[in-house]
């Protein structure tokens, strides 16, 4: 049996690996962090709530339902939502991009997390395996790792925006639109391909 510090360390590293890679949630988190660290973190906590919900669903129903049979619908739903967000950011001016309440950021993170195919796929594969192999301690510290990453990224973006406001705002806008559009198009193609595969 592995010692507690080892299980905790594995959990933290896995949490960062789940939250760290660039993607739709990161795009919205860095955009909201321009205004304040708290608003950026609200997005992250919304996404983390989605992780918790997905963990519960997969733990309870994963052995009963074939969740992978719904992947084409998940891809298309996620694609539509991400492309919509990309359009909203592209159409907004700089002032409106940096506005918005923390509550709306939390709901944005929660919604993105629940329709994000990458997040769902992670829990269906790696997340479920981690829970079965390492147990609840590692899962608890996985969420600790996510919190660490949320705070680090929000603080980093906010501090950079205070020093290099115009450059950071422009960079974040380009990154956010590009990331959301790329993942939106990718998931749309995957969803259409999956539907065609079922039909043929």
Residues 6+ apart with CB under 8 A from 50: 109, 110, 111, 112, 113, 114, 116, 119
Q: Is the per-residue pLDDT at 163 higher than 70?
A: yes
Distance CA 125, CA 17 (A): 14
Name which of 149, 117, 159, 131 is nearest 17 in CA terms. 149
Q: What's the pLDDT tens digit per position in 31-59?
A: 899 888 999 999 999 999 999 999 888 87
Whether the per-residue pLDDT at 143 is higher than 70: the answer is yes
Q: What is the pLDDT of residues 57-104, one digit of tens each?
A: 887 876 666 666 777 887 888 888 889 888 887 887 655 555 555 568
Residue 77 corresponds to which tokens in the numbers above? 């739903």
Rounded distance between C-alpha atoms, residue 104 and residue 169, angstroms: 20
Give the pLDDT band (50/70/90) at residue 2. Answer: low
CA dist., res. 99 & res. 35, Å (int): 7
Mean model confidence pLDDT for the chain: 83
Residues 6+ apart with CB under 8 A from 96: none
Residues 98-127 have pLDDT tens digits of 555 556 889 999 999 998 888 888 887 777
SS3 state at 99: coil
Residue 35: predicted pLDDT: 84
Long-range contacts of 61-67 (CB under 8 A, 24+ apart): 62/124, 62/128, 67/120, 67/124
**Interval 1-6 mean pLDDT:** 76
């Amino acid at each position: 049996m592995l010692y507690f510090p080892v299980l905790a360390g594995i959990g933290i590293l896995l949490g960062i690996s789940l939250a760290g890679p660039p993607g739709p949630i990161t795009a919205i988190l860095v955009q909201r962090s321009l205004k304040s660290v708290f608003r950026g973190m609200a997005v992250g906590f919304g996404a983390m709530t989605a992780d918790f919900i997905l963990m519960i669903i997969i733990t309870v129903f994963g052995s009963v339902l074939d969740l992978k049979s719904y992947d084409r619908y998940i891809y298309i739903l996620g694609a539509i939502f991400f492309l919509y967000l990309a359009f909203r950011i592209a159409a907004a001016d700089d002032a409106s991009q940096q506005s918005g309440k923390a509550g709306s950021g939390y709901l944005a993170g929660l919604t993105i997390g629940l329709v994000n195919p990458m997040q769902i796929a992670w829990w269906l594969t790696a997340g479920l395996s981690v829970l079965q192999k390492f147990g609840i301690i590692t899962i608890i510290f996985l969420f600790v790792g996510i919190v660490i990453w949320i705070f680090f990224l929000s603080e980093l973006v906010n501090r950079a925006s205070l020093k290099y406001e115009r450059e950071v705002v422009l960079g974040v806008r380009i990154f956010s639109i590009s990331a959301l559009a790329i993942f939106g198009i990718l998931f749309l193609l995957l969803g259409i391909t999956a539907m065609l595969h079922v039909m043929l």
